[in-house]
Amino acid sequence: MGNRYLQADLNTFSVKRVYGVTVLTSIFSDGEMSSKDGIVLSATSVDRQFGSILNGLHISSCKVGYLPNLDLITAVEQACRNQSVGPVVLDPILFDETGSPILDDTAFSKYVTDLIPLANVITPTIEEAEKIVGFEITSDDDVIHAANELRGIGVQNVLIKGSNEHQGRDNIRDYVLLEDGDDFWLTDKHAPFPQPSGKDDALSACITAELANGQKTENAIRTAKEFITDATRNVLQVGDSIESINFWS
């Protein structure tokens, strides 16, 4: 977890009146996933963290983010499969900030085969969806095809996040394919630069929080997107250097 990513999750949970607890997989500075200076925790540590939060807490839903190696994927997969963690929202982090893949082939294969099918909702970017389904996405039809392929892997609900690179300058459109086969696009005006950080984590964290609050998946996704829209329009200037989405919009 970079120093701001985890906080974006917890700030979102708090605003949504959900009590958040965490299992840390790693520690690194913002934007330094690719550096060798970060710390990747052991599977044993992750097991113990799960043990401690599951001892006495009822977990209503669970967000899974950065998992940089096979051992951590296996540890989290086992916990999600064997423990009572509620619906799983999987936010794949498959590339570091330089665009290099994070997982080696064995770990990636495990991720796709064993972790993705456990997800109630998966929220890849277009690049992450391309990596998982194994073909390039250059059109709306490709996005829809990729979402169906992800459903084919076993994930129940898919949200593929838009990208202005693929969709033009004005709008950004996320595509949603639900378990029952219903699908829709969530369209938003592309917010002007500079972009506040935290949108990625807040989107999946908000879906997770809404599921914990008992919302149906479609409502959880729609509410989360509205939350991102509002939070992106009202940039929060924290000190001199941090431009964050505004969780309290």
Ligand X SMILES: Nc1ncnc2c1ncn2[C@@H]1O[C@H](COP(=O)(O)OP(=O)(O)OP(=O)(O)O)[C@@H](O)[C@H]1O
Ligand Y SMILES: Cc1ncc(COP(=O)(O)O)c(N)n1
Contacts with ligand Y by CB under 6 A lie at 1-2, 5, 33, 65-66, 93, 197, 200-201
Determine the residue with CB nearest ligand Y: 200
The CA-atom distances, in angstroms, between 234 and each of 6, 231, 246, 248 are 20, 5, 6, 9
Nearest Cα to Cα of residue 147 among 138, 171, 196, 156: 156
The CB-of-20 to ligand X minimum distance in angstroms stands at: 17
Query: CA neighbours within 13 Å on the CB side: how many for 88?
Result: 24
Of 132, 228, 231, 235, the one binding ligand X by CB under 6 A: 228
H-assigned helices in 85-169:
105-110, 126-133, 140-153, 164-167
> Which residue in the block uniquely carries the two structure tokens 């900030």?
97
Amino acid (1-letter code) at residue 13: F
For position 92 contacting ligand X by CB under 6 A, the verdict is: no
Picked from ligand Y, ligand X, none, the partner binding residue 109 (CB below 5 to 8 A depending on kind) is: none
228, 243 Cβ separation under 8 angstroms: no
Q: What is the CA radius of gyration of the chain?
A: 17
Number of residues in contact with ligand X under rule CB under 6 A: 18
Residue 90 phi/psi, 5° resolution? -105, 115
For position 172 contacting ligand X by CB under 6 A, the verdict is: yes
Determine the residue with CB nearest ligand X: 200
Which of the ranges 15-23, 70-78, 104-112, 191-199 carries the binding residues for ligand X, by CB under 6 A? 191-199
The CB-of-4 to ligand Y minimum distance in angstroms stands at: 9
Question: How many Cβ atoms are within 10 Å of 14's Cβ, its own excluded?
Answer: 14
Q: Binding pattern to ligand X, positions 104-143, x when CB under 6 A?
A: ---------------------x------------------
Residues 6+ apart with CB under 8 A from 72: 25, 40, 41, 43, 46
125, 119 Cβ separation under 8 angstroms: no
For position 244 contacting ligand X by CB under 6 A, the verdict is: no
Q: Which residue, 105 or 170, has its beta carbon nearer to ligand X? A: 170
Question: How many Cβ atoms are within 10 Å of 123's Cβ, its own excluded?
Answer: 25
Q: Which residue, 16 or 110, has its beta carbon nearer to ligand X? A: 16
Picked from ligand X, ligand Y, none, the partner binding residue 65 (CB below 5 to 8 A depending on kind) is: ligand Y
The CB-of-107 to ligand Y minimum distance in angstroms stands at: 16
Of 178, 203, 221, 235, the one binding ligand X by CB under 6 A: 203
Helix (H) or strand (E) holding 186: strand 183-189
The CB-of-186 to ligand X minimum distance in angstroms stands at: 7
**What is the binding site for ligand X (CB under 6 A)?**
125, 161-162, 172, 174, 188, 190-191, 195, 197-201, 203, 225, 228, 232
